[in-house]
Structure 1
Amino acid sequence: MGKSNAQAGIDKITLSYLNLQTPKENRRNVITFVLLFLDFFGIFPLLAEPFSFEFLLAAVIPTALLHIWAIIYIVDPYRFELSYYLFFGIYGIVNTYVLFLVIQKFLYYHLRVSSKFPFIFGIVLFLGLLLFMNGVNYKALHSGTYYKLQNKKAGNTTWIVTASGIGYVVAQMIITFIFSESIKMIIILFLYSLLTVLTAYFSTSIHRYIFLRKNRAALKKVYPHFGLPKNQRNLRVKKRKK
């Protein structure tokens, strides 16, 4: 397929990273992921019994700041279209961190683990997962994998997240098996480990934000209305029709 006029002169690597969502989709993502993934799966378990003030305190400050920041993307996702990608990447880190705390709470307050090893090992896994996901994202971009996926020359993007997170999930399960014989708890921690892999992948949005800032010319060429308030976009559309 030939390139459109807007895409002419833009290399395929850049184009693959300019496959962006609409501001309405950005707003929906903020509401869905913050309320469901962060609040429901993250904060609520930290509030539940057995209650731990220490774990809640460790989560509440970054979570509260993220909620305040999220307001601008709900109120005006058009004007703040670029910074949304920075927000979503930071959200990914915060959500992964909060889920890490939930897993630790399950280990120490539900399974009554007394050793410091799961906590230290959990921190290593948490940081390693974030670094690995961002490394996979960088390689997928510059190797042309994203371009091939978008043009249906490769498999589904799900394999990237799945393959990258296998090591994390397996390691988390080993820790669980060592300290628990409860099938219910093993299943819960397995599901939380999978969820953590997904939120860690969201952190790669920070790289997309940096990339978009460095490639503003290409960005504006493909999306002329990018970052403009909604009323200005509508005005430009009306002028074009005239």
Structure 2
Amino acid sequence: MKKQLDEIHLSYFKLQRPKENRGNILVFFLIFLDLLGLLPLVSVPFSYPFFLAAIIPAVILHLWAIIYIIAPYRFEHSYYLFFGVYGIVNTYVFFLTTQKLLYANIRVEGSMSFIIGFLIFVGLIITMNIINVKALHSGTYAALQKKGNTMNISKAMSAAGIGYVLSQIILTFVFSEELKILIFTCLLAIISILTAYFSIFIHRYFYMNKHKDKLKQVYPEFGLPKKSRRMSA
């Protein structure tokens, strides 16, 4: 039982290096939050209520991100809380972008679309976190890592972002405006699954905080400034 418990801890302590955390911020913010989320909100026709609802948490998140760009080693632990919050905010911005396209571009009327969309957004976040906790304690993560089923999320997201840009260029020349909006909305829905998944980092943050002793056994220099570490992480 102790061995199984240790494997569960280790499966959750597969952490990226601080400089990779900094790279995540640059990739995810520029491509997913700013390009895919905020940019469509400032496009014509402009909707001030949707823009205001998105820009406030987005600005706060951008300001919060500065410390992880400047000092990713010193703030290595709180990065996981930050990245989990980012996942929620980015998914929320995608929800607002989708609603803006429906109401301002396609001219959907009534509040039903907004209510259903919001419930789906909340349900998606909750579902991802329930699945995460079950996968952790059932040993699913440990089993997958034993089989070598790991994925570099940063590279996958970068590829997805590049694919989006290329597809948008093609769509501009091929399809009508309404069809492009429909396809873009579907794309946001798919990517929202990924950004909602990032919300599980909040649970990981508190899990690491609760099991600091075991975390330090795996990463003795975790959370230390770069100059205090024996070698570059």
Bin of the TM-score, shorter chain as denominator length? 0.7 to 0.9
Alignment partner of 2:7 out of 3, 6, 12: 12
Per the TM alignment, residue 184 of structure 1 is displaced from its structure 2 partner at its CA by 2.5
Letter in 2 for 1:80: F
What are the residue-to-residue correspondences of 1:114-125 with 2, within 5 Å? 114-125=109-120
Partners of 1:86 and 1:205 within 8 A in 2 = yes
> Do the aligned partners of residues 105 and 224 (structure 1) sit closer, same or farther apart at CA in structure 2, a change above 3 Å counting?
same
Q: For residue 36 of structure 1, what is the aligned residue in structure 2?
A: 31
Across the aligned residues of Structure 1 and Structure 2, the Cα RMSD in angstroms comes to: 2.1
Superposed counterparts of 1:103-182, under 5 Å: 103-152=98-147, 182=178
Determine the C-alpha separation between the residues in 2 that align with 1:60 and 1:227: 31
State the partner residue of 2:93. Answer: 98
Instruction: Give the corresponding residue for 2:46.
Output: 51
Cα distance in 1 for partners of 2:33, 2:135 equals 27
Select which of 201, 205, 210 maps to 2:201. Answer: 205
Partner residue of 1:68?
63
Counterpart in 2 of 1:214?
210
Query: How much does 1:31 deviate?
Result: 1.1
- Contact 1:149–1:157 (CA under 8 A) maintained in structure 2: no
Equivalent residue, structure 2, for 1:189: 185
DSSP 3-state at the match of 2:34: helix
TM-score normalised over the length of structure 1: 0.81
Deviations for 1:12-60, whole angstroms, at most 9, x for unmatched residues? 1111000000001100001111121111111111111100111110011
Post-superposition shift, 1:183?
A: 3.1
- Counterpart Cα distance in 2 of 1:237 and 1:34: 29
Higher relative contact order at CA 8 Å, sep ≥6: structure 1 or structure 2? 2
Write the distance in 1 (CA, Å) between the matches of 2:23 and 2:126: 27
User: What is the aligned counterpart of 2:222 among 217, 220, 226?
Assistant: 226
Q: Which runs of 5+ in 2 are unaligned?
A: 153-176
Which entry has the higher C-alpha Rg, 1 or 2?
1
- How far apart in 2 are the matches of 1:55 and 1:182? 20
Distance in structure 2 (CA, Å) of the matches to 1:29 and 1:209 = 17
- Aligned position for 2:155: none
Rounded Cα–Cα distance in structure 2 between residues aligned with 1:149 and 1:187: 33
Q: Amino acid of the residue matched to residue 195 of structure 2? A: T
**Structure 2: which amino acid aligns with 1:84?**
Y
State the TM-score, normalized to the length of structure 2: 0.84
Does structure 2 conserve the Cα–Cα contact (< 8 Å) formed by 1:100 and 1:126? Answer: yes
One-letter amino acid of the structure 2 residue matched with residue 65 of structure 1:
I
Aligned length: 206
Give the Cα–Cα distance (whole angstroms) in 1 for the partners of residues 81 and 58 of structure 2: 16
